[in-house]
Chains A and B, each alone.
Chain A
Amino acid sequence: MRTARYCFIRVAVLLATTFATMALAEVVVLRNATVHTQGSRGTLERASVVIDDGRIVSIGTNLPVPPGARILDLAGKVVTPGLFGGIGTVGVVEISLEPSTVDSALRMGKMYPEFDLSLAYNPDSSNVGVARADGIAFAVLAPSARAGVAGQPGSSIVAGLGAVVSLAEKMAHPPSVLVVDLGSDVNALSGGSRAAEFMLLKRALTEARAPRSRGTNEDSMLTPAGHKTLAEFLKQKKPFVFAIDRAADIRQLIAFAKREGIRAFIQGGAEAWRVAEELKRAGIPVIVNPFEDLPESFDEIGASLQNAARLHQAGVTIAFSLNESSPHRMRRLRHAAGNAVANGLPWAVALDAITRVPAQLFDVGKEFGSIETGRVANLVVWSGDPFEVSTLPERMWLNGVPQSLRSRQTELRDRYLERNKDDSRR
């Protein structure tokens, strides 16, 4: 789907970023930090990162300080790549219960795999600013067929195209994943039975494999554009993200993906730990919500705080996302990662699950998810362990540009801190 239009936009955005960086051109040395590169350098203690003109030029200990550099002594504070915010609706939902501000679900009655949610992305949304101010660098925009907070489900289990979004850029990346909702939450969209979810998917894929006949076809599920989109996903093995929880459904999905030859990611996967061996064999990664431990539906009877740890132990690749349609809780994802650690997941694996792994899964590993020499700086300085609830971000670079950590919320805070002072004087 990398159309000419997209390429033009990307170039324009990159140029704009370059000019911004040039205006701020300086050399910054982050010194005396614990640097979790999540890349080739691993974790370095008492290390430095040198950023020249927005680009990381060296990482290591005892580095020479370039002349004229601004030196920031971090006194052992923690540096990580900018974090992943999960799969969700940042910038496409302003207020969950206000339909005029919600663009995340399509209700046009048919299956539109070509529905491209990235076109609705608003970088000025307050939740983009709030997420960025908490160290989040990138996320995956995903349409959802499930009933959100607003209680309005989409009209097809094939929710549409998802795309990576950098929280420092004005436009989302070109769409790169197809989001499909499965399970009891959406069985109303398949005539009341989850069995028909696979029936509908099978039919759509079969259509996409056949050459598209000219003109309109009354019997076809897909529009010409939908046909083209699905065919491309099949041909190029682009990933389908399946939101699915029940172990039995996951087994069906594994078999379905194998039969159809599609590349599958699982999102949610409350009972995935029960199918860990099969997932490992099939090479299907699971994007887990580490908070999920209640049987909130009959699809999630086996939900467990140890889901992530057990999947990892079995050798399944994991990343993290909250599974809420609300974009307002993205900053909780790093705490969710901490909870996975508290329940048995190695710390470094948990950090990978909100940095390197999702960046690689969503094919932006060269921009996000790790700190490497030669790359544009995408990193965060934390007051301590980024998983800790007591930790806050202190500095952040995105696309090589130092970011303000202020948001609409800090404006409100400061206004009322000041007013409350006046109150107590009266």
Chain B
Amino acid sequence: MSHLSFATTLTAFALAAFVHGTASGVSPADPYPSTYRVPVSLPTMIRNATVLDGLGLRMDNADLLIEDGKIKALGKALPNQAGARVIDAKGRWVTPGLIDVHSHNGVFATPDTAGNQDGNETTSPTTANVWVEHGVWPQDPAFGAALAGGITSLQILPGSGNLIGGRSVVLKNVPAVTYQSMKFPGAQQGLKMACGENPKRNYGGRQQFPRTRMGNVAGFRAQWTEAGEYLRDWKRYDETLQKGGKTAEDAKPPKRDLRMETLASALRGDILVHVHCYRSDEMAVMLDMAREFGFQIASFEHATEAYKIAGLLAQHKVCASMWADWWGAKMEVYDGIPENIAMVDAARGGCAIVHSDDPNDIQRLNQEAGKAMARGRAAGFDIAPEHAILWLTANPARSLGILDKTGTLTPGKMADLVIWNQNPFSVYAHADQVFIDGNLQYDRAAPAIRPRSDFLLGQPAIENGERK
């Protein structure tokens, strides 16, 4: 189900690129490229596990072979592999590594000090030029805590204080000194937009634009209009060059504008759009806006009223990234219900994602999904673990455009996976071992194989720099 929809989403992006043309200058090569390298690791054979493959299947007593950082094979009674480390996972469960599409780790870092506030550039309502990655502090202890909860990849988003907050980044959740060495190779960046109360409170409170939801939408439309013009200018420039007879200088390249570069890239589908939006009516406005300007929304973030428009979201092939049971903090979150995830999931073609937006909840996304399953079942939906795991793996991978690389245990994909001590949808579940690209990054039983942030090192309040 997710694969069909994913293919359609890809088509939609391809279509966007076609409609908006190739505009050479709009999406230049990443000047801050990933330096993440897959470490050399032993081949690993995991035997006798209960496997949820992220494609909707459950296999009992299954084996999984990791080789060269990739999933090599998944099946019953796989032949022995010479030189492989063998892990007996009898009674344990294996799932793809969990993916959180909505984290502020590293930018609203712990400790929550004034000096660590790097997530909201609230000096202008539209800051498409800022890149969240430039604020990510790799030593935030929250990364290691998330790893202990089985998180192998995560999208760091700017906050929702602005209408257009800036570019997001997808990271591999590995201990690192620079963010570039966490940057998920080949993952697209995202664009963070925010509907509703946050931007209007932020600026309206200072007697600035926008002060209302009307202003929010006018603010978005002005930006997208300008982005369309920017894209058109680059296309004209390309056409002039193609006609020949002019040097690049004579053809007058448009003046580079970092804000417009981000938005024009989003119009072309090179950057994926994630919209913070709670109310169903506002999400419907955003869907119309996306059509008006010709971009595809990858996911609505928070979407606490997604259950009211589950069919509409499915029809537009837009995922909803949701909490299990959060509500009530703001007027626009008043109608949040714990069946939201299950009701979005139940729509034909629906794409439900469990997200955290929180350095605590990211450690327990499996439990959040477990709550949503329970509420869904009580509301009459039949939700098996092999299906619910998609909310934490394949569906977030799809919304981040990395489903071809991770998010399922398909041979050939990155060996990002978790061995759980039991059914992961239990309050008592622990991630025993977490692999990223086949490399054992976390082992509950081996203190040496657990991340230690520089920040915690040498702090008398904890032992050996280890948060536990």
Interface residues of A (CB under 8 A from B): 94-98, 126-127, 149, 247, 271, 274, 291-298, 300-306, 326-329, 331-332, 335, 338-339, 341-342, 387-392, 409, 412-413, 416-417, 419-420, 423-424
Among B416-432, those with CB < 8 Å from A are 425-430
Shortest 7 CB-CB distances between A and B: which pairs? A302-B461, A338-B427, A328-B328, A389-B370, A301-B461, A423-B311, A96-B329
Cβ of A271: which chain B residues have Cβ within 8 Å of it? Answer: 461
Q: Is B307 an interface residue (CB 8 A)?
A: yes
Residue ID in chain A nearest B324 by CB atoms: A389
Within the assembled complex, what's the spacing in Å between the Cα atoms of A333 and B311? 33
Closest B residue to A97 by CB, please name it. Answer: B330
- In the bound complex, do residue A388 and residue B427 qualify as a contact, i.e. CB atoms below 8 Å apart? yes
Contact A420-B329, Cβ < 8 Å, known A297-B111, A335-B371, A412-B337:
no
Known: A326-B328, A413-B339. A247 touches B468 (CB 8 A): no
Check A96–B426 contact: CB distance below 8 A. Answer: no
Q: Is residue B308 contacting chain A, with contact meaning CB distance below 8 A? A: yes
- Inter-subunit contact B348/A332 (CB<8 Å): no
A301-B456, A390-B426 given; A293·B334 CB < 8 A: no
Contact B328 A305 (CB under 8 A): no
Q: Are B374 and A391 in contact (CB under 8 A)?
A: yes
Instruction: Look across to chain A and name the residue whose beta carbon is closest to the beta carbon of B144.
Output: A294
Which A residues are in CB contact (< 8 Å) with B111?
295-298, 300-301
With A302-B461, A420-B310 already in contact, the answer to whether A296 and B374 are too (CB < 8 A) is no
Q: With A328-B327, A329-B325, A416-B307 given, is the CB distance from A295 to B428 under 8 Å?
A: no
Given A342-B430, A390-B374, CB of A328 within 8 Å of CB of B329: yes
Q: Restricting to B210-233, which residues have a CB under 8 Å from any CB of A?
A: none
Contacts of A417 in B (CB 8 A): 339, 343, 379-380
Give 27 A-B contacts (CB < 8 Å), ordered by A residue. Answer: A95-B334, A97-B201, A127-B328, A274-B461, A291-B360, A294-B142, A296-B111, A300-B111, A301-B111, A301-B459, A302-B462, A329-B326, A331-B325, A332-B325, A335-B371, A339-B364, A339-B427, A389-B374, A389-B426, A389-B427, A392-B375, A412-B335, A413-B337, A417-B339, A417-B380, A419-B308, A420-B346
9 additional A-B pairs beyond A295-B110, A420-B307, beta carbons within 8 Å, are: A95-B329, A95-B330, A271-B461, A301-B462, A302-B461, A335-B427, A342-B430, A389-B374, A423-B310
Q: Is B406 an interface residue (CB 8 A)?
A: no
Give the chain A neighbours of B307 by CB distance below 8 A: 413, 416, 420
Interface string of B357-399 (1 = CB under 8 A from A): 0011001100100110111001110000000000000000000
Contact assessment for B374 and A149 in the assembled complex, using a CB-CB cutoff below 8 Å: no
A419 CB contacts on chain B under 8 angstroms: 308
Q: Is the pair A294, B145 in contact by a Cβ cutoff of 8 Å?
A: yes
> Which B residues touch A295, using CB under 8 A?
110-111, 141, 455-456, 467
Residue B338 interfacial (CB < 8 Å):
yes
Closest to A274 in B: B461
Which residue among B110, B326, B327, B329 has the maximum number of chain A CB atoms within 10 Å of its CB? B329
Q: Give chain A residues whose Cβ lies under 8 Å from the Cβ of B459.
A: 301-302
Chain A contacts for B110, CB-based, 8 A? 294-296
A143–B164 Cα gap in the complex (Å)?
36
Q: What's the least CB distance linking A302 to chain B, in Å?
A: 3
| B201 partner residues in chain A, CB cutoff 8 A | 97
Closest A residue, CB atoms, query B142: A294
- A413: chain B residues at CB < 8 Å are 307, 337, 339, 343, 379
- Residues in chain A near residue B7, CB distance under 8 A: none
**In the complex, which residues of chain B have a beta carbon less than 8 angstroms from the beta carbon of A306?**
468
CB distance from A203 to the nearest CB of B (A): 30
- Check A424–B335 contact: CB distance below 8 A: no
A294 touches B328 (CB 8 A): no
Interfacial chain B residues near A341, Cβ < 8 Å: 427-428
Whether, in the assembled complex, B286 has its beta carbon less than 8 Å from a beta carbon of chain A, the answer is no
Report the Cα distance A401→B93, complex, angstroms: 43
| Residues of chain B within 8 A of A326, CB atoms compared | 328-329
Q: Is the CB of B347 within 8 A of A420?
A: yes
Complex Cα spacing A329 to B360, Å: 13
Pick the contact of A96 from B330, B429, B455 — CB < 8 Å?
B330
A271 to B459, CA, bound (A): 13
Contacts of B429 in A (CB 8 A): 342
A329–B338 CA distance with the chains assembled, in angstroms: 11
Q: Does B338 contact A390, Cβ atoms closer than 8 Å?
A: no
Q: A294-B141, A329-B325, A342-B427 are in contact. Are A97 and B331 (CB under 8 A)?
A: yes
| Complex contact B461–A247 (CB within 8 A) | yes
Q: In the bound complex, what is the Cα–Cα distance between A271 and B463 (angstroms)?
A: 13
Q: State how many angstroms separate the Cβ of A128 from the closest Cβ of chain B.
A: 12
Rounded to whole angstroms, the CA-CA distance of A22 and B430 in the bound complex is 48
Interface pair B145/A293, CB less than 8 Å apart: yes
Nearest-neighbour CB distance to chain B for A328, whole angstroms, equals 4
Residues on B with C-beta less than 8 A from A294 are 110, 141-142, 145, 359-360, 467
Whether the Cβ atoms of B343 and A416 lie closer than 8 Å is: yes
Residue of B nearest to A420 (CB): B310
For A125, the closest partner residue in chain B by CB is: B328
Is B360 a contact of A409 with CB atoms below 8 Å?
A: no
The residue of chain B having its C-beta at the shortest distance from the C-beta of A339 within the complex is: B427
Of the residues B113, B348, B374, B461, contact of A424 by C-beta under 8 Å: B348
Residue in chain B with minimal CB distance to A298: B111
- Is B197's beta carbon under 8 Å from chain A? yes
A392 to B339, CA, bound (A): 13
Contact with A along B445-468 (1 / 0, CB 8 A): 000000000011001011000011
**Across the interface, do B329 and A389 meet the contact criterion of CB distance under 8 Å?**
no
